[in-house]
Structure 1
């Protein structure tokens, strides 16, 4: 099983802005002093430039346009509501913010089927929303697809029991921990695992400083080492520049790339860049508006498609 895929699903925003419903526990979001239509048009420009950079390298980017109704300010982050797997399974996930639940669209799955991808089975966890339990896709879950391990930092958006259920359904070994960030002098849970760690084929980029519990930290490190991953540690300050929010993808001729935002790239030290580039080249694109208002970055914008072809 490969860790990276050549096909990425992306949703182009039509009404992107800061989502007031997610800001309650996403401490990466900030208010920009500009009109929403200006924010949206900047976000669209960043989106288009990013998608075209991926395509230039031979990544198959499937772009779906968002719709104006219902109102979905965070639709640009599809990896939170859906995941696509090599056996034809699709995971559909329960979302913390009510207005994010409208992002789940059957027509997006139909678009992939029209493009020749095979969907065998839909595993739907959304009924957990009735109990106020959430698990936000590959935002909450970081998959080592090759070694069948799933990493999850527990938070209001990542329920432990649901995560274990996912691991049983998809046959992954769970690695559970808590990751915190300092907010106004307090240590509070990081909203998504994918802002503090990224797993690639031969390495992992991770903010170990966020795992306050020594045993949990040791366990995560042991799992990564056991699977032969080189650990590239980032600081909490770098994490706030979205240096943990990266994804390895496959371009032309099977060439792997690590994808990140320009702010993430700029936050890395020359040594860290070298450590990454020893394994694969980097693609970075400016996502400033999307990061500031959305509190998510490059990784969040890409839903990996591992589905088999018909």
Structure 2
């Protein structure tokens, strides 16, 4: 099902038991911040982006390399080079995604990022090396920025899709089908928000980080938080620190930037620990100048 009705959605979702074997990825890939500068086109609807003077390519490279090393100790992680004609291509999760046996290529809202979808090396890696059947959404007209717009509870096969210029209802329906989801809840993001994964994280199907301020209707945020036994209600300040831009990369680890972790309060830390996770915090302030954080950097391989 795909619906805007939270009551109907959660009535259905309660009958979708979690499957821990598919809750976290088996591998991941990254894009190196080569040619890292401010992309003014992307900044039109991403108020999290810094001014051009705040972009430090050397620091971004060093922090990204450290992220790669840290992740590779937990799961196989490949890093592909960036390119000068895609200056903010450090967030591959918006463009490429996988489910078992299939790869998905999204449709980006801005032309500067649509170039990323044409990368033959990524498509070849997923199709020819991993043997995934490709579902290409990049040539149709509806924006659908994959796991930026769509937060997925992989354990249950549920989707939470925030609508904005980065994803419309038709794009959401295309993603619902491509990911093979059991149910997807549609809702509007608050004015000024561009991606759901800044205001919501679902961690291995066991916990949720939710910022009510990021939803046009805070009651939807409350319904999502109430579905999970462990939940953290994020403040606007924590949202701005990218605390909601987190990801579970293993059954016992939640990853976020060092700034995001620093913004967490004691109740939030306890909730995450009670859900069975340790926090892995990685300095990424130079990357965050581009308007995203750790979760955005990670394209998951299932």
TM-score by length of 2: 0.86
Report the counterpart of residue 209 of structure 2 in structure 1.
205
Residues 221/273 of structure 1: CA separation in 2 closer, same or farther (3 Å cut): closer
Report the counterpart of residue 164 of structure 2 in structure 1.
155
Give the alignment partner of residue 15 of structure 1, picking from 28, 32, 35: 35
Q: Does the residue aligned with 2:97 lie in a helix, a strand or coil?
A: strand
Residues 256/6 of structure 1: CA separation in 2 closer, same or farther (3 Å cut): farther
Report the counterpart of residue 184 of structure 1 in structure 2.
none
Report the counterpart of residue 45 of structure 1 in structure 2.
62
User: In 1, Cα distance between the equivalents of 2:179 and 2:296?
Assistant: 21
1:27-85 deviations in whole A, cap 9, x for unaligned?
10111426x6xx211110110111112223x22111111233xx101211000111111
Q: Tell me, yes or no, if structure 1 residue 190 matches structure 2 residue 193.
A: yes
Q: Which runs of 4+ in 1 moved over 4 A?
A: none
* Count of residue correspondences: 278
Report the counterpart of residue 185 of structure 1 in structure 2.
none
Give the alignment partner of residue 300 of structure 1, picking from 293, 296, 300: 296
User: In 2, Cα distance between the equivalents of 1:246 and 1:217?
Assistant: 17
Report the counterpart of residue 111 of structure 1 in structure 2.
125
CA contact (8 A) 2:212 2:218 kept: no
**Structure 1: segments with no counterpart, 5+ residues:** 181-187
Q: Does the residue aligned with 1:194 lie in a helix, a strand or coil?
A: helix
Provide the alpha-carbon RMSD of the alignment: 1.8
Q: Tell me, yes or no, if structure 1 residue 28 matches structure 2 residue 41.
A: no
Matches within 5 A, 1:43-122: 43-56=60-73, 58-68=74-84, 71-86=85-100, 88-104=101-117, 105-112=119-126, 117-119=130-132, 121-122=133-134
User: In 1, Cα distance between the equivalents of 2:125 and 2:214?
Assistant: 38
CA contact (8 A) 1:4 1:256 kept: no
CA contact (8 A) 2:42 2:112 kept: no
Residues 99/148 of structure 1: CA separation in 2 closer, same or farther (3 Å cut): same
Q: Does the residue aligned with 2:140 lie in a helix, a strand or coil?
A: helix
CA contact (8 A) 1:141 1:193 kept: yes
Larger deviation: 47-56 or 261-270?
A: 47-56
Give the alignment partner of residue 216 of structure 1, picking from 210, 217, 220: 220
Residues 239/72 of structure 1: CA separation in 2 closer, same or farther (3 Å cut): same
CA contact (8 A) 1:238 1:267 kept: yes
Larger deviation: 22-31 or 273-282?
A: 273-282
User: In 2, Cα distance between the equivalents of 1:111 and 1:214?
Assistant: 40
User: In 2, Cα distance between the equivalents of 1:153 and 1:41?
Assistant: 33
1:160-194 deviations in whole A, cap 9, x for unaligned?
122023213433211111222xxxxxxx2410000
User: In 2, Cα distance between the equivalents of 1:189 and 1:32?
Assistant: 20
1:232-271 deviations in whole A, cap 9, x for unaligned?
1111110000011001102xxxx53101001100000022
**Structure 2: segments with no counterpart, 5+ residues:** 1-18
Q: CA deviation at 1:19?
A: 1.2
Report the counterpart of residue 143 of structure 1 in structure 2.
152
Q: Does the residue aligned with 1:277 lie in a helix, a strand or coil?
A: helix
Q: CA deviation at 1:125?
A: 1.4
Residues 197/23 of structure 1: CA separation in 2 closer, same or farther (3 Å cut): same
